[in-house]
Amino acid sequence: MTPEQVVQKQLETYNQRDINGFMSLIAENVIFYNYADGNMTMSGASACKEFYSNLFEASPNLHSTVLKRIVFGNKIIDYERITGRNGNKDIVELILIYEVNKEKIIKVTVLRKEE
Q: Which domains does the chain have, with CATH numbers?
A: 3-112 (3.10.450.50)
* pLDDT number for residue 115: 62
Q: What's the pLDDT band for 114 if we cut at 50, 70, 90? A: confident
Q: How do beta strands 104-112 and 92-101 pair?
A: antiparallel
Residue 113 has a pLDDT of 77
What mean pLDDT value characterizes the chain? Answer: 96
What is the rounded (10 degree) CA torsion for 59, 91, 11, 77? -150
